[in-house]
Structure 1
Amino acid sequence: MADIVSPLPGIFYRKPAPDRDPFVREGDRIDIGQTIGIVEIMKQFTEVQSTATGVIETFRVDDFGAVNPGDVIVTVREDR
């Protein structure tokens, strides 16, 4: 298992906009560098990118949830 963590404090969003689909969902296969969400702080938006290749097991932060640097956002079951 691998954890993807927040790079900075702010609010985590799973969608690029309210009327759009989430970047990824639990059970989706992801690759290193793939965007899994965004963190917003003071109207600045930073993409959170995957640091592992595998399948998303679970989101550990809710959509619109507050995060701090190093907080685990997603747990990934890595490819072997």
Structure 2
Amino acid sequence: MPTIPSPLPGVFYRRPSPDKPEYVSVGDEVTEGQTIGLIEVMKNFTEFKATAAGTVKEFLIEDEAEVSVGQDVAVLE
């Protein structure tokens, strides 16, 4: 199954702000290039985009968790 790795180190967020819904949830279909979250590095936010198309099977890290470069964040099926 394909995975979506983090392009940057930082903190992973699944929603654009605390009062907004998640970009995507488990079971959602995503397209390549679709935003699935944000990575925060030193108060700068970068959109985190899917590197492949598919259905989100699971997220491998929690919302607001630290992530490393290349660390798998989500699994697609």
TM-score by length of 2: 0.97
- Give the 5 Å matches for 1:17-56: 17-56=17-56
- Distance (Å, rounded) in 2 between the aligned partners of 1:50 and 1:8: 13
Distance apart, 1:47 and its partner CA: 0.8
Aligned CA-pair RMSD: 0.5
1:59 is aligned to: 59
- The number of aligned residues is 77
Q: Counterpart amino acid of 2:2?
A: A
Instruction: After superposition, give the CA deviation of every residue in 1:35-70 in whole Å (9 maximum; x if it has no partner).
Output: 000000100111110111110000001000000100
Counterpart check, 1:16 vs 2:9: no
Distance 2:54 2:9 in 1: 25
Secondary structure of residue in 2 paired with 1:15: coil
Structure 1, unaligned stretches of length 5 or more?
none
Runs of 4+ in 1 over 3 A off after TM superposition: none
Q: Aligned partners of 1:61, 1:46: CA distance in 2, in Å?
A: 17
In the superposition, the TM-score normalised over structure 1's length comes to 0.94
> Matched residues in 1 for 2:73 and 2:9: separation?
12
Partner of residue 68, structure 1 = 68
Deviation readout 1:7-58 (Å, 9 max, x if unpaired): 1110000000000000000000000000000000100111110111110000
In 1, the alpha carbon distance for the partners of 2:68 and 2:4 equals 13
